Structure 1
C-alpha cells in the first residue's frame, strides 16, 4: 500500500517555496509515495485527514497560523504521522506559535553574513544511520543559527563563528544542522539547509532530505496500535493536566 504525504508551501517568497515543494514532490514520487501539494494552511483543517497520512512536509516561512491548525498537526504527529522539512520552511514558520517550535525542535534566530556564506556541514557519528555514506561538505548559503531543543538527536553540525558579528567573542559552538526527535509516536526530521531551490538540489542535501522523509514516514507503521502520549501531570501532581496543545498556563 502506498504511503501518503502532504506538502504545504507558502509564506515568504524568498525561500522559493513553490519550487522547493516541487523538488520534494519529485523525491517522494521517486519513492512511490502518493503526494498531495497545497498552497494554503487550510490543508491542515481536517484532523482526521491528517491522521490518515504517513508524512507531513511543511514549507511555509514567516507566517501566522490559527492555533487549531497547529493542534491538528500536533495531534496527527502524536498519533504516528511523520513530519519533516527544512530551513525556514519548518523552523521559521510561525514565530508566534511556541507549540509549533516545541514540536519541530527549534527555531531560527539569525544567519550571520546573510546569504553567500561559505561554511562546512560536519556529519556526526551517532546512533542514527540516517546520514550514513554522506561525507562532510561545504555549502555557500545562509548559515542558520537556531535555538534548539536539547532533546533532539543531532546528526550534523556547523561551526560558528564564520562571519564576524556580536556573537564572535563567544566560545566557538557547533550548531545543529540536521536533527531528529520524537513527538508522541511521530518522528520529526529537520535540516537547516535549503535556503533556495539550488541548495536543495545539491546532491548531499537532496539525499539528506530523501533519507529524512522516508525515515519520518516509516514511523506510523512501526507504532501502529500504540496509544499516543499526551500532556499529563508532573511534579507534585498540582500541575495542570493537558490533553492537547495550545492551552494557556
Structure 2
C-alpha cells in the first residue's frame, strides 16, 4: 500500500533545504512513499490534506509558523502522522513557538566555536571534531542498532531538551579555555518521541549535504524516517 510523505522545506537557506531533502527523495520513493514537496509550513493548516499524510519530513530552519499551521501540525502528529528531520530543519524551527518546542522535545541552543585565533569569519568557525556516541537504548533500537560510535567534523549541536524524549545517541561538549562552561556537557544527538498516536524522530547532525552523505548519518536518518512513518 502506498503511503504519503510530505516534505516541507524552507526557512534559512544556509542549511540548503532543497539539496538536503533532495538526497532522501529517491529513498522515500523506493520505500513506497508518494512524495509531495511544499516550500511553506502553512500547508499544515490544511486539515483535509494532512489527514492523509503518513510522514512529514521537515527541513525549515528558524522562520515562523502561523497559529493554524502549528495547530494543524500538532493535530496531525497526535493522530498518527510521523514527523522526522535533522539539524536545524527540525531542532531549530519556529523559535518563537513554545508549542512547537513542546511537540519536538528539544531545541537548538548553540554550536560552540573554535578558538578565536582559528576563526575565519565563515561557517567553518563552528566546525569541530566530535563524537556521536550510542546510548544503551540506541544500541538496541531499530534506528541505530549496529551503528558504532562515529566522529564528525561539523557543527556540534548543544540542545535544550525535556525528559520525554528517548535518547539514542549523545555528543559531549568538552571544556575549553575559550568557552565559559566549567564541566563537560552531554547533549542528545539522536532522539525519538511518542506524541499521541504519532512518532517523532530527530537527528542533530546534518548541517550540510556532505554530512548527510556520511554513511552513519544517512543510515540513521533513513531508518528514523521509516520508524516515524505511520503504518496503515
TM-score, normalising length from structure 1? Answer: 0.84
CA distance in 1, matches of 2:166, 2:187: 12
Alignment of 1:1-249 (within 5 A): 1-113=1-113, 114-126=125-137, 128-161=141-174, 164-169=177-182, 171-218=183-230, 220-221=231-232
**Size of the alignment, in residue pairs?**
219
SS of equivalent residue, structure 2 residue 201: strand
Query: Contact 1:189 / 1:212 at 8 angstroms: preserved in 2?
Result: yes
- Structure 1 residue 25, shift from structure 2 partner: 1.5
CA distance in 1, matches of 2:178, 2:219: 32
CA distance in 1, matches of 2:222, 2:214: 12
CA distance in 2, matches of 1:52, 1:187: 16
Matched with 1:227 is none
SS of equivalent residue, structure 1 residue 85: strand
Q: CA RMSD in A?
A: 1.4
Structure 2: 5+ residue stretches without partners: 114-124
- Structure 1 residue 165, shift from structure 2 partner: 4.3
TM-score, normalising length from structure 2? Answer: 0.90
- Structure 1 residue 115, shift from structure 2 partner: 2.9
Q: 1:155 to 1:18 in 2, by over 3 A?
A: same
CA distance in 1, matches of 2:44, 2:142: 31
SS of equivalent residue, structure 2 residue 136: coil
Query: Contact 1:47 / 1:73 at 8 angstroms: preserved in 2?
Result: no
